[in-house]
Structure 1
Amino acid sequence: MFGDRIPASKRVRFRATRSRSHGACGLDQILAIRTFVRVAEAGSFAKAADSMNLPRSSVSKLVQDLEVHLGTKLVERTTRSVTMTNEGLAYHERALRLLADLDDMDGTVAGSRSTPKGRLRVDIGSVLANRILIPVLDDFQRQYPDIDLLLGVSDRSADLIGEGIDCVIRGGALPDSSLKARKLCELDYVVCAAPGYLAGRQAPAHPDELDGHRIVSYFSASSGKRFPLRFQHGDEKIERPASIGIAVNESTAHLTALLAGLGVGQSFGFFARPHFQAGTLVELLPEWKPENHALHLVYPADRFPNPRLRAFADWAATVFEAADARRGAGATDIIHSHG
């Protein structure tokens, strides 16, 4: 990707040729263009320098040299951020197309004689990482030993462009038109509680009977807003606010709270069903479920997927297919499907 760290061999070659004119079509100009694009995406020289593993002074000099070569100012610098000029915006748009074509050209030629290689940053939610992806990552490593995978695991919303992330595996709607998505699967929800919580309480037979029950809910880490419980039976839909009980903002902790008997909540089916079989959780309201939760692999729309990302996307599609609620998969199927 355009935010990849620059290989040491290319950095050495650049330093060896700095005395030459930057207007020449050698590696200097390509590196300067990549650096400008990364600065524009990150919104600061410091973030761009960190993501490219270069000193901040080198990043600033590369952009400055590019501006001298073009004879125009591309960015307006402040102490904390950078803003693109009109010329910078136009140049950025064309630079993205140029680098996408260059990466695709290199990947096509390299792919004919070697496996994908290099750094790949992927962000994914906690439960998806721990229950689906990580247990079978040895299969990905065997197939692609030269890919250096950085796996960011959390339930927060990731800034793909600003953080130099190649892709995220994300659920729900995708309103941002600057992103492209590949659907991986659909996940279903179940309503459940621990037997200890239900002891001495009347199990609800309808969502309206949740009044008086403690709810283990999920809240947004960014806004602090609790997500309501949603139910559907045929054409009837019910939404109940989650205002009584405990709320967490991480999916594994949410299930732990349910197992601890803190209340009633909705969890992913693949995550909860092994606990139904073990008797540590009890399914409630099986006829009342929300719509399935679509899961996507998401990447910036203005980037052409490089060979590393294409390889990971194809591999992840087969892994998450085993979790698709439409085929009735359980957690055991997921973990062992690539074993």
Structure 2
Amino acid sequence: MYLSSPTRYDSMTYARCGRSGLLLPAVSLGLWHNFGGVDAYENGRAIVRRAFDRGVTHFDLANNYGPPPGSAEENFGKMLRDDLHPYRDELVISTKAGYLMWPGPYGEWGSRKYLLSSLDQSLRRIGIPYVDIFYSHRPDPETPLEETLGAVAAAVRQGKAIYAGISNYSAAQTREACRILRDLGCPCLIHQPKYSMYERWVEAELLAVLEQEGVGCIPFSPLAQGLLTDRYLHGIPEGSRASKPHGFLQSSQVTPERVAQSQRLNDIAQQRGQTLAQLALAWVLRDPRITTVLIGASSVEQLDQNLGALARRDFAQDELAAIEDILK
């Protein structure tokens, strides 16, 4: 029988999510990779248990996480029943809908029918009556935002979700989404954009909008699908994400230029007593508008190493300047 560590809250820090009352851990665990039907269940189970033992209370899912789609929710539901059920009220569980889940005209995007049907399926797979956060995973160019976000707000009103979130929305779409949700009496809690040293679009406009609207921010892919780790410092190793046919990091992305940048960033990390991954996570968390950073993990050891980023989150001005010079 699993019993969580009694010291699980001693070393983790928590930040308020926008202007809400919800606190989230500095690091959240995403189940996008390594928790699907093609992965070893016991390995994923060990990672989830270790994460909670270290104060990671937020577990991020989506309907299509796997592969195959839906299998990450199924596996997490089993972990919840086997291990974490007594701690349900200490957990923040999120899921999303927006990408392809089933064939036909109602299996993806942003219609009310798809979103609410998908959430019902997600709840059945996880085996819970509600999630803490339900996201619109991406805006639908063919569906009015009022319909998409009205469905998210309806899920909250129905008690199937506690908070509303959005992901992959532009700054302008985010401002409009916040207005719609506010008018519906269901304020937007959080935005999940892609953000890393190699993907910085949020800095131009989005973070300012989130600050003005009082919305939290949880970046995904802060390690650029592994490019900002020591795994690709010398090219593409066998068994890495870029070498797998079902991965989201393509071998074409591991360019000589990126490898050279990562090597120079790794030099700065070593001077700080960090790994490259720890440097990259700390760099994302340097901005107070970032509520929490979303990481994945393929092993307990990798999880522990990434959580080590929290030991050194401060940056000297010359360090930030050196990083900017590399990233130009």
TM-score by length of 2: 0.27
TM-score by length of 1: 0.26
Greater share of strand: 1
Give the number of the structure whose alpha-carbon radius of gyration is greater.
1
Greater relative CO, 1 or 2 (CA 8 Å, sep 6+): 1
